Structure 1
Amino acid sequence: MIEQRWGMFFRWGPYVLLGFGTVMSVATSVVIGMSRDAWYVVGALIVAALALQLWWGPLARSRPGPSTAGIVYYALRWAIAFVLTWINPFFAFFAIVGYFGTERLLPPRLVKPGLFATAVIMAGSQSGGLPPHGDLGWAVFGALLAVNVALLTVFAHLAAQEDQRALDAAATIVELERTNTALQQAMDENAALHAQLLVQAREAGVADERRRIAAEIHDTIAQGLTGIIAQLQVVAAASDATLAREHLGRAADLARHSLGEARRSVHNLSPTALEHDALPEALKKTVAEWSERTGVRGDFTVTGAAEPLHEEIEATLLRIVQEALSNATRHADATRLGVTLSYMEGEVALDVRDDGRGFDPLDLVRRSGSGGFGLDGMRARAERVAGSFTVESEPGHGTALSARVPLVRHG
């Protein structure tokens, strides 16, 4: 907007100021004492100034910036203004255009000489006209010229500071844009990495589920089928009907148990508890169902402001609780168990504590070469989503399991 206004001034300003100077000269011609010959000269110079402006207007739009044509234009305009002001000091209104846009017309080495030349015209007009009369006139002219040069220096310094501030602001904007671009790229890279990690976690989870299902089949269903086959072989070889019925009953019990194990394995293929409930409600129901099934008191607590988590995070925490409850059923012999889900800034904590028989974690590692009791599986689940898993236990003093995972919101 400012640039457009300056463009309008450079285009139309010389015409307006020349016209105003002409009007003032006509009004003061009697006081100044202009002769008819002087008016002939003034008229010719006004026509020359108009022709010069008409020549320069299109050329300035086609050749912006300092050029040889700009130097010629500035010199001719200054010469016309100098002669007009010599004839009548009020033509200094036209000469004042030499103060504006000098750097657009002249190369840097000629800017100061051009401004000084314009200051000469202005000081001559202010001192009563050119040439100065007598020593006093020259002294006044010299003083006014010094004042004009000093003002030019001050204004040039202020303009330079303003230009520097503008350059600094432009550089700051460019730097901010570069920083914002780099930040956006980093955010995009982080989002892509996050998505990649989730894909890897999902793939690792699939592999883990396959290993778990294989272990489930080996430890439950396959063993149950082996037992059934053994019982049926006894029946086939038995001659006593009572003994045969006894072993057939055992085979039926093993079949029912294996069927239950198969259903439990199928149920655990995917966290169906999360299909209709959020994580807190799903954990609460899981603990309640476990407590009802085992007869052990189970308490569930939520701390912090609950919020929807990413599906992988919720599934991981639910699986860890299910495994922990399964371990407690098989090994803890507890009378009370508590599950606490804590929402914290940037993190979700899951704690499972029981008052069971406990164990020595170090002794368990020495004997089994791993964490045992499904602890390795729970630790692997937590670490696959960039979390951590710790175990605290002591013989006779219960067990405490703790999982910490990032708070990755849904969506």
Structure 2
Amino acid sequence: MREDRLRVAMRWGFLLLLAAAASRYVVRHGWGAQTAGVLALAGVLLAAYTVNELGSFAPGARFAAVIVAFLALVLAAPSFALVAIPLFFVGLRQLPQRAVWPLVGLLTAAVVIAQIRLADGFDPSLVLGPVGIAAITTVVFLELDRQNRARQHALDALVAARDELDRSQHEAGALAERARLSREIHDTLAQGLSSMNLLLQAADREWDTEPTQARGHVREAAATARDNLAEARRFVRGLASPALDGASLTDALRRLCAATERDTGTPVRLTVVGTVVPLGVDNEIVLLRVAQSALANVRSHANAQQTAVTLTYGDREVMLDVYDDGTGFDPAVATGFGLTGVRERVAHLGGKVTIESAPGEGTALAVSLPMREAG
């Protein structure tokens, strides 16, 4: 924007200086053939300048025509030397930097010669003045050009950084959503499919010998499929778990423990300690998902003889403990997605996760979350 204003100012400056020099020449020399020739050269310079400013072809050739017309005009009428000032700007803007100083030297020499021709006698100021003005003008223009380039570079870097930030935020959002869906699938659909697989396998084994019990397994598998369908629709929409619809967290945990006991054939005991209070949707969903993930591991890997789930309501935090006496594992080397999902869920709400286990010694998973207002 500044460069555009400067360019317009220099155009007007050129026109004003050209008009001033022409009027001065007419006043000094009157009308005649010589004046007509000088004004014709001024017209040629104006035409060359206009073509250079508005044209888009051969910039070097266009500007060379301007300089040739200017030199011819100054040779005929030295009073037009002041027109060199706006031509400095045109050259600095249009030519490569290696051509700047030769241009400045040529225009300065033309102005010095014009000054000497107009003066009654020689005076060092006739040389030093134009040289000083040319040097100052050139340095100012070069500094403005440098600042404009630096400003444009900084603006380009800022735009690039903003685009990179937008891209990073988009990728981070996509990764976060992918992680959310992965956790939901692991803690709901995958467990539901595992449960249905166990129920259908049991039904297949008992179909001929215990048809009534086999049909019961099939009905339970169908109910699990319906629950999984509701879960799938829920987490796609980002809503609360249907297990919590119209039910408390303790009710949902009680049903989860009963389903795990049914699938594994081993006791799963639920204990609630403290005064039951609403925890807020976020806390309840995380605690339910942690319990689902822990009991899924019990169902699939632990070979436990008994499992205990304890939900403790404290003054400042709520705690969930899941213990089984199964095969156990080494937490230091465990890299399962389920444990990663548990840690991510709990950390998101500012909670803590503790896992105590060893091969052959069972597993104890403890999660604590700060109490939140129900909402």
TM-score normalised per structure 2: 0.60
Question: Which protein shows a greater Rg?
Answer: 1
Matches of 1:208 and 1:341, distance apart in 2: 34
Matches of 1:164 and 1:404, distance apart in 2: 57
Decide which of 228, 231, 248 is 1:282's aligned counterpart: 248
Q: Which residue in 2 is equivalent to 1:319?
A: 292
Secondary structure, counterpart of 1:138 in structure 2: coil
Q: Which residue in 1 is equivalent to 2:37?
A: 44
Matches of 1:340 and 1:183, distance apart in 2: 40
Secondary structure, counterpart of 2:117 in structure 1: coil
Q: Which residue in 1 is equivalent to 2:21?
A: 21
Q: Which residue in 2 is equivalent to 1:390?
A: 355
Q: How many angstroms does 1:263 deviate by? A: 8.4
Matches of 2:98 and 2:146, distance apart in 1: 19
CA contact (8 A) 1:123 1:148 kept: no
Q: Which residue in 1 is equivalent to 2:89?
A: 100
| Cα distance change, pair 322–259 in 1 and its aligned pair in 2 (3 A) | farther
Q: Which residue in 2 is equivalent to 1:151?
A: 136
Secondary structure, counterpart of 2:92 in structure 1: helix
Q: Cα deviations across residues 14-62 of structure 1 (Å, max 9, x unaligned)?
A: 3332223334556xx5xxxx3448x643442223222332355246433
Q: How many angstroms does 1:71 deviate by? A: 0.7
Q: CA RMSD in A?
A: 5.6
- Segments of structure 1 that go 5 or more residues without pairing to the other structure are 230-254, 372-378, 406-411
Matches of 2:142 and 2:172, distance apart in 1: 44
1:204 aligns with 2:186: no
Matches of 2:138 and 2:193, distance apart in 1: 79
Q: Cα deviations across residues 329-370 of structure 1 (Å, max 9, x unaligned)?
A: x847x9x953469999xxxx962279xxxx8x5xx53xxxx6
| Cα distance change, pair 210–338 in 1 and its aligned pair in 2 (3 A) | same
Q: Cα deviations across residues 51-79 of structure 1 (Å, max 9, x unaligned)?
A: 33235524643335632232122221233
Q: Which residue in 1 is equivalent to 2:68?
A: 75
1:165-314 alignment to 2 at 5 Å?
Answer: 165-173=150-158, 175-176=160-161, 179-180=164-165, 182-183=167-168, 186-187=171-172, 190=175, 193-194=178-179, 197=182, 201=186, 204-214=190-200, 270=227, 274-275=241-242, 277=244, 282-286=248-252, 298-299=272-273, 306-308=280-282
CA contact (8 A) 1:350 1:402 kept: yes
Matches of 1:211 and 1:10, distance apart in 2: 84
Matches of 1:133 and 1:260, distance apart in 2: 123
Whichever residue aligns with residue 103 of structure 1, its letter is: L
CA contact (8 A) 1:20 1:93 kept: no
CA contact (8 A) 2:59 2:94 kept: yes
Decide which of 398, 401, 409 is 2:365's aligned counterpart: 401
Q: How many angstroms does 1:212 deviate by? A: 4.4
1:338 aligns with 2:311: yes
Q: Cα deviations across residues 278-303 of structure 1 (Å, max 9, x unaligned)?
A: 69x63133468999xx9986226799
Q: How many angstroms does 1:305 deviate by? A: 8.1
Secondary structure, counterpart of 2:355 in structure 1: strand
Whichever residue aligns with residue 272 of structure 2, its letter is: G
Decide which of 125, 130, 145 is 2:117's aligned counterpart: 130
Q: How many angstroms does 1:144 deviate by? A: 1.2
Matches of 1:276 and 1:119, distance apart in 2: 88
Q: Which residue in 2 is equivalent to 1:161?
A: 146
Matches of 2:365 and 2:252, distance apart in 1: 17
Identity among equivalent pairs (%): 14
| Cα distance change, pair 258–14 in 1 and its aligned pair in 2 (3 A) | closer
Number of aligned residues: 325
Matches of 2:281 and 2:363, distance apart in 1: 28
Secondary structure, counterpart of 1:197 in structure 2: helix
1:351 aligns with 2:307: no
Matches of 1:92 and 1:341, distance apart in 2: 92
TM-score normalised per structure 1: 0.56
Matches of 1:142 and 1:304, distance apart in 2: 92
Matches of 1:44 and 1:301, distance apart in 2: 108
CA contact (8 A) 2:81 2:111 kept: yes
Whichever residue aligns with residue 34 of structure 2, its letter is: V
Q: Which residue in 2 is equivalent to 1:244?
A: none
CA contact (8 A) 1:288 1:298 kept: no
Whichever residue aligns with residue 338 of structure 2, its letter is: A
CA contact (8 A) 2:321 2:364 kept: yes
Matches of 1:188 and 1:288, distance apart in 2: 35
| Cα distance change, pair 105–130 in 1 and its aligned pair in 2 (3 A) | farther
